[in-house]
Amino acid sequence: MTGTFFCTSMDPSDYDYGIDPSEDPGLCYRGWVRTFRGQYEPPLFWIIFILGAVGNCLVVWIYTTVRNRLKTMTGVYLLNLAVADLLFLSMLPFWAVDAIKGWDFGVPFCKMVSAVYKINFFSSMLLLTCISVDRYIAIVQVTKAQNFKKQRLFYSKLACLVVWCISALLALPEFIFAQVKTDPNGRSFCSLVYWENTNNWTKIFVLSLQICMGFCLPLLIMIFCYSVIIRTLLQAKSFEKHKALRVIFVVVFVFILSQLPHNALLIMEATQAAHTTITDCKTVVLFDVAGQVAKSLAFTHACLNPFLYVFMGVRFRQDLLRKLKACAGGMGTGGLSKIQAVPKRPSIMSDTETTPALSI
């Protein structure tokens, strides 16, 4: 079927449900996408929620209870990253219900859930950007990093505050445009409803802002910082530095890998809004499905990062095992004195003093 169709947006909520295409050939029947979403998203969201909640809670626990964990810039950034992920994960069960039976939680909660995802998205990218800048200063500008050690810790906390404020501002479109829409079958769903205008400039502006500020700009900064870091490490020829930096590299790589497909489809969606070039119904449906898969892939970053710290971060793994043994010992003796009596690893301070930016 070819021609001009209504609802050509690749927004997964803009489906023509329950309409027989034989009754109106101008409508593209996309109800199958909703069925696919209802079967595909809920189990995946619950898996992400459970794994992410356990992993991020462990990160918060270790970073808030182990001495010296929050005395480095990276520690402050990673704690804020875990909090952002937990905030996002708390919304996933509502989206799983929406995929199965529609949105029954009202307009205010629709706006909040939509905005929480965008705040998490922007804050995660910006925090990873901050980490890459911190790596650059600590490894490439070693003298300055040591001279301004205390100031760097203050600046890291200030940077986190700025990141949260910027992320909230960038998520304002979700608060403004998120609405509860109803399909022809009377089923409600949470979606963005942009102001109507002939050129779709509102939607194009929002998508462009997300792509540029939430992906392209942070990606360029990270590429620059890590390119210089790689050159410096190759000259230093230090295996320990390579091993410590590997954790950050993998965290950044996984996040980019999970977000790149989603942002690529956002670019295509912005192009579609500017110039409606996709009119074939089958192609539109395929983009809808691809959009669902890419967005779900983007969600996985919330549960992947903590496990990267556990399995690749030597210090984090040691701290976690020691705390778990301490808790088990405390429960066995029936008191908390066992936990409090566990000696702190003396090398933490020396690690922090010698390589403050490499210890995870």
Q: Where do the domains of the chain lie?
A: 31-354
Q: Residue 181 forms beta bridges with which residues?
A: 189
Selected residue with higher pLDDT from 22 and 293: 293
pLDDT of residue 222: 86
> pTM of the entire structure?
0.78
pLDDT of residue 134: 86
Half-sphere exposure of 294 (CA within 13 A, CB side): 21
Half-sphere exposure of 177 (CA within 13 A, CB side): 17
pLDDT of residue 306: 81
pLDDT of residue 197: 62
Please give the CATH number for the structural domain made up of 31-354: 1.20.1070.10
Residues 284-306, mean pLDDT to the nearest whole number: 84
193-205 in b/e form (b: 16+ CB < 10 A) is ebeeeeebebbbe
List, as one string, the DSSP characters of 261-320.
Answer: HHHHHHHHHHHHHHS-----HHHHHHHHHHHHHHHHHHHTHHHHHHHHHHHH-HHHHHHH
Which three-class secondary structure state does DSSP give residue 71?
coil
Residues 119-131, mean pLDDT to the nearest whole number: 87
Selected residue with higher pLDDT from 174 and 152: 174
Supply the mean pLDDT for the chain: 76
Residues 5-24, mean pLDDT to the nearest whole number: 38
Strand intervals (E) in the chain: 178-182, 188-192
Least confident of 25-34, 88-97, 173-182, 254-263: 25-34
Q: What's the CA gap between 219 and 237, in Å, rounded?
A: 26
Q: What sign does the dihedral 244-250-252-255 (CA atoms) show?
A: negative
pLDDT of residue 125: 85
Q: Which two tokens stand for residue 112?
A: 């909040």
Which three-class secondary structure state does DSSP give residue 191?
strand
Rg over CA atoms, the chain: 23
pLDDT in tens, 304-356: 878 776 666 677 778 888 888 888 876 655 544 444 444 443 332 233 333 43
Highest mean pLDDT out of 65-79, 102-116, 193-207: 102-116
| Per-residue pLDDT at 87 exceeds 80 | yes
Kind of pairing, strands 178-182 and 188-192? antiparallel
